[in-house]
């Protein structure tokens, strides 16, 4: 007979029903699938859309702030940039102020894809918000607070 501690099944059910992390992960996966499907005709994923939107600034941003905004480490960001550079949607340029640094720039082709993607994003986002049983702004604020 084993003396190993056992967690009762009732605890498993409690965690299943109350774990914020589990429910956030499930919601994130469902949202990712939804937006991936919507962007598929453009050959774009939801992650690529978010990354490219993060680059849509008056000046090309350095990698560090983009990685921080997207909650990625620099290695993960570098991997995510590869397919976008291969498709000609972004370029990685030397930082004029610090030659060791790199800045990320949307190309004209990348901006064209974002222009096509925005009505899709708006439609999906509007439908999603309309179907929520809670105030979208309250939900958004709660997620922002958790991500800090």
Q: What is the pLDDT along the chain (148 residues), one digit of tens a residue?
A: 578 899 999 999 999 999 999 999 999 999 999 999 999 999 999 999 999 999 999 999 999 999 999 999 999 999 999 999 999 999 999 988 887 889 999 999 999 999 999 999 999 999 999 999 999 999 999 999 998 8
pLDDT for position 121? 98
Report which of 73, 77, 68, 74 is spatially closest to residue 148, judged by C-alpha positions.
Answer: 68
Is residue 104 within 8 Å of 97, Cβ to Cβ? no
| Nearest-angstrom CA–CA distance, 147 and 141 | 10
Here the contacts of 98-102 (C-beta below 8 Å, separation 24 or greater) are 101/62, 101/63, 102/62, 102/63
pTM: 0.89
| Nearest-angstrom CA–CA distance, 85 and 91 | 6
| Nearest-angstrom CA–CA distance, 105 and 33 | 27
pLDDT for position 97? 86
What is the three-class DSSP state of 71?
A: coil
pLDDT for position 86? 98
| DSSP structural state of residue 54 | H
pLDDT for position 1? 59
Instruction: Find how far residue 46's CA is from the centre of its chain.
Output: 7
For 75, 79, 143, the CA distances from 124, given in Å and listed in that order, are: 30, 27, 19
């Amino acid at each position: 007979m084993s003396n190993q501690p056992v967690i009762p099944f009732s605890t498993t059910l409690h965690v299943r029903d109350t774990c914020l992390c589990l429910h956030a992960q499930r919601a994130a996966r469902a949202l990712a699938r939804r937006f991936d499907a919507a962007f598929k005709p453009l050959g774009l994923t939801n992650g690529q859309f978010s990354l490219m939107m993060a680059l849509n600034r008056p000046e090309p941003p350095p990698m560090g702030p983009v990685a921080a905004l997207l909650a990625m480490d620099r290695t993960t960001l570098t991997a995510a940039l590869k397919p976008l550079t291969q498709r000609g949607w972004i370029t990685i340029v030397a930082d004029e102020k610090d030659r060791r640094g790199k800045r990320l720039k949307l190309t004209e082709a990348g901006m064209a894809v974002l222009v096509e993607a925005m009505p899709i994003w708006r439609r999906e986002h509007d439908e999603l918000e309309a179907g929520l049983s809670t105030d979208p702004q309250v939900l958004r604020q709660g997620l922002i607070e958790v991500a800090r």
